[in-house]
Structure 1
Amino acid sequence: MQRHFFVVIIMLLIIACQPTITQKQDVSETTKRNVIIDNMLTRRAIRKYTDQQVSKEQLDTILKCAIYAPSALNRQPWQVRVIQNKKLLDEINQRFLNFAEGKEFQGSASRYREPGFSIFHNSPSLIVIARDVNIGTSTLDCGIILQNILLSAHGIGLGTCPIGSLVPVLNLPENKDILEQLDIPEGYEVAINVSLGYADEKPVTKKRFENRVKIIE
């Protein structure tokens, strides 16, 4: 009789603990979702970087997130290169300055005449994303992989900034040697570039146009 009593007590304790375990699991899942959403809402474009270089481990994380981006028919029509070679970065920046001479630009590129200007904001790493020109969806697909790079970098404490002004420069026939140094295959062209490094600024949030989003019920 006494043994039966203890068995009943143990069963009741197990049952009583079940809601607590479920609740902890629910809280954990909620926390994960909140972290993901917070990452999207707090990321900003960084245009000032420290000299500290991005580590191999950090790059591995970012690039793994990058190649897990979805693409139409899973064709993955991209080539991704990370440049950390200072000499090559300086050469790319000089190619932009040569191209920019006498031209007018918007945004940060408009300051190219200033001493020490860097089209990629002197970031210690530059990511080049090239697209397969024979696949119609490659531009969109590269936009998706770009977002994975931006968010994963922010998630591990790094800053990024998409660099569009450099795209036409790298695609010029006279700069084909740069793409050859990056081992980008024939049939690909640069779609977008990304500065990458440790942020040396904290940009404020800019206004979002919520009226451009509507729900049709």
Structure 2
Amino acid sequence: MKKFTALMAIVLFLSACQEKEIKQVVYEGTAKEAILDNIHSRRAIRQYTEQQVSKEQIDTVMKSAIFAPSGLNKQPWEIRVVQNPDILKEINQRFLNFAKGKEFQGSAARYREADFSIFHHAPTLIVIATDKANPGAKLDAGIALQNILLSAHAIGLGTCPLGTLVATMNLPENQDILKLLNIPEGYEVTINVSLGHPAESPDAPIRYTEKVKIIE
């Protein structure tokens, strides 16, 4: 019995020695300030230059997107980055078809204006679709969305979430668009994002601090 106990002690000791060292990164000084400033200074951009987003920039933003946490690491999203002008034009036209006779809030309310663009003439559109069978998929997509917004801002790009476009993308008559984007069966569009080089620097809207309560 003593030999067995001693052997188990040696095994446990060796196992502990083989465990990976736990590394905890704590940001200090300028790094920490940069992270917080990125969160506090990001704005929705609704005016863009004609300059296209580069592949390197897309790679940076998409890596940040897929590194978002998700329930049970299911990663229940499909993300498409659309830069083809013809597809962007068609998506915009599908929204205009859907919008006829309707009233909207925000920038979408101006859809009757000439040369209207639901994605603000951004040269890139990001489409995030989620698994309809996963009850937490939309929440996971929201986390991925925030990673997209913050990483884009960190490298000097502008973004704007496009909730109004979601209903259009999921209409039965627009399923050909989803097939064109190679979005699998059983998925639906959850959010869209315009992406490009910003041509404006909007001020921060009011934040309602009273919506935060600390329970002690």
**TM-score interval, smaller chain:** 0.7 to 0.9
Q: Residue 161 of structure 1: SS of its match in structure 2?
A: strand
CA–CA distance in 1 between the matches of 2:41 and 2:164?
Answer: 24
Structure 1 equivalent of residue 197 of structure 2 = 198
Residue 121 (structure 1) aligned with residue 102 (structure 2): no
Percent of pairs with identical residues: 65
Runs of 5+ consecutive residues of structure 2 not aligned to the other structure: 1-25
The letter of the residue matching 2:142 is G
Q: Residue 61 of structure 1: SS of its match in structure 2?
A: helix
Residue 53 (structure 1) aligned with residue 52 (structure 2): yes
Q: Residue 118 of structure 2: SS of its match in structure 1?
A: coil
The letter of the residue matching 2:82 is I
Residue 146 (structure 1) aligned with residue 145 (structure 2): yes
Q: Residue 47 of structure 1: SS of its match in structure 2?
A: coil
CA–CA distance in 1 between the matches of 2:205 and 2:104?
Answer: 21
TM-score by length of 2: 0.87
Structure 2 equivalent of residue 33 of structure 1 = 32
CA–CA distance in 2 between the matches of 1:90 and 1:192?
Answer: 18
Q: Residue 80 of structure 1: SS of its match in structure 2?
A: strand
CA–CA distance in 2 between the matches of 1:91 and 1:205?
Answer: 32
Structure 2 equivalent of residue 208 of structure 1 = 207
TM-score by length of 1: 0.87
CA–CA distance in 1 between the matches of 2:29 and 2:121?
Answer: 38
Structure 1 equivalent of residue 158 of structure 2 = 159
The letter of the residue matching 1:158 is L
Structure 1 equivalent of residue 19 of structure 2 = none
- Structure with the larger helix share: 1
CA–CA distance in 2 between the matches of 1:202 and 1:195?
Answer: 16
1:76-115 matches, cutoff 5 A: 76-115=75-114
CA–CA distance in 1 between the matches of 2:179 and 2:28?
Answer: 46
Residue 168 (structure 1) aligned with residue 167 (structure 2): yes
CA–CA distance in 1 between the matches of 2:145 and 2:204?
Answer: 20
1:113 to partner: Cα distance: 0.2
CA–CA distance in 1 between the matches of 2:204 and 2:182?
Answer: 37
1:103 to partner: Cα distance: 0.4
CA–CA distance in 2 between the matches of 1:93 and 1:121?
Answer: 10
Structure 2 equivalent of residue 69 of structure 1 = 68
CA–CA distance in 2 between the matches of 1:139 and 1:181?
Answer: 22
Q: Residue 101 of structure 2: SS of its match in structure 1?
A: coil
1:29 to partner: Cα distance: 2.7
CA–CA distance in 2 between the matches of 1:38 and 1:140?
Answer: 25
List per-residue Cα deviations over 1:28-62 (Å, max 9, x = no partner).
73211110000000000000000000000000000
1:151 to partner: Cα distance: 0.2
Divergent runs of 4+, >3 A: none
Structure 2 equivalent of residue 24 of structure 1 = none
CA–CA distance in 1 between the matches of 2:143 and 2:180?
Answer: 25
The letter of the residue matching 1:115 is A
Instruction: Report the structure number with the largest CA radius of gyration.
Output: 1
List per-residue Cα deviations over 1:8-43 (Å, max 9, x = no partner).
xxxxxxxxxxxxxxxxxxx97321111000000000
Structure 1 equivalent of residue 133 of structure 2 = 134
CA–CA distance in 2 between the matches of 1:33 and 1:186?
Answer: 42
Structure 1 equivalent of residue 12 of structure 2 = none
Runs of 5+ consecutive residues of structure 1 not aligned to the other structure: 1-26
